[in-house]
Structure 1
Amino acid sequence: MDINQLPAECISSILAFTSPKDACRSAVASPAFRSAADSDAIWTTFLPSDYRQIISQASSSSTSSVLNSLSKKALYFRLSDHLLFIGSGNSSFVLEKESGKKCYMIGARDLEIVWGSSPAYWTWQSIPTSRFPEVAELRVVWWLEIKGKIEGRNLSPKTKYAAYFVFKFKEGDFQHDGFGTKPVSLEVYFEGEEVGEDGTKMVLLDPPEGSPVVCKERSDGWMEVEMGEFFNELGDDGMVIFHLKQIDGIIKGGLIVEGIEISPKYD
């Protein structure tokens, strides 16, 4: 039997077991496949099951209206090609194009920064290279502690994730005191979970020349360091906590925080 003679719904059911990339490739096979591969039925299976809720959280109501008017295929590519700012616009969402997995970035304003509201220690700046309206710039502290959190149910199930601290240092002659001599501790864990020594990473954010490279520059010009990883089974393990700390009494300054990014990790 010629597979092109199958009803469109059968072809759609077959394609639903493939990937967005395979569905796009199959569209050139024949008119029947193109019709099935472009259908809302197939692309709804590739979108997150809670895509309507995600759209409703858009920081702009006009953005929500535009997204709701798109076909499901167009919506998929819009969400994978463009950042969706959610809530008050201080966090962002995007789909990983190849897999349809959910990725988030928690902006500095949505993080818990000890003394972050005190202008004596931190200031809030607008930087053209940042995706967010404001970033946090550290003036001077001796107790540095930053926490982020996200519900596991908001992430893709059956997925290994990694969290990345995204930052840079103030330009000019400013010395990045404390970050080249004392490491920060980085932890990722589910709320209520005990974190042992094996679950804590110690990293120099501004290592001296010749030291092993742990932090790397991103394509957007910011630096990132992996805080840790976790497996999101079914999204029912509760809140995931991301914790950065350096409280040994060393004076620190010059750090600029954009946020914490959570994205799938592949070994």
Structure 2
Amino acid sequence: MNSVQFLRGQLRPALMVVWMTLGAAHAAGAAGDVSLTPLAQVPAGVEVRGRQVAAYSWDDRQGHNLLVLAEQEAGERDDDGTQSASIYAAQYLLEGDRPKRLWMLHDDVQRCEFDAGLHFDNAATRVTDLLGDGLSQVTVGYSRTCTSDVSPREFKLIMHIGKAHKYGLRGIDRHGASWWDEEAGALRGMPLPTDCSVAGQQALLSQYQEQGTDLPLPGCYNDEHDFAKAPAKLLVFMRQQWFALMQKQDADWSQQQSPAPAEDEP
């Protein structure tokens, strides 16, 4: 039994417009952030697979860069009753007569018998120069699901550095991780982990006496293997980014589940 099945008691298959405050975060001067320019339209020669949800440009030692994010949402079901969805991200170097693509990210959910979904978390989008070498790191995050209920989804936080390097944290988000218990008058569910190591997650399970729940817990990633040979600053940043995103998701979801306070009688 996986963690979602245990939490919600429902079956779940094995598959698991620009964020305006992004500019505010950059304006606040977060360490390593690169100044970005939002773009309503991308230049000719830049491929956009699906509906453009965001695009940014910036400069680094490579030259003038462009990041484009697009989604192909699940639409009408096919003749067999299934749905498909996909996301697309790419970084281009704008030089000469034609943009040069440095990397491309594509993920999809194919022939989903339930409800297919793939969506960027625009709060995850960051461009940084953490190493101070003038070469930017581009980080995007997105959720992926094929479910018939409200339950945590796969979540991937991916960092690209030029053409050669890709690092990621991949796990489960906080969507549907808690629910309102009318009898108890409180939210129930596994609390948001603060340590995604195996030992940390098992300690949380032991504390709450949950049994039969697979790792990762909702809000945790699987492992940090991608960063074994990466500069330490990159993993520090990605951990911080992951937990900040999960905290925001947890707060937003909890607020949606909690009943509105009763109005005082006149």
TM class by shorter chain equals under 0.3
Q: More relative contact order in 1 or in 2 (CA 8 Å, sep 6+)?
A: 1
Larger radius of gyration: 1
TM-score normalised over the length of structure 2: 0.28
TM-score normalised over the length of structure 1: 0.28
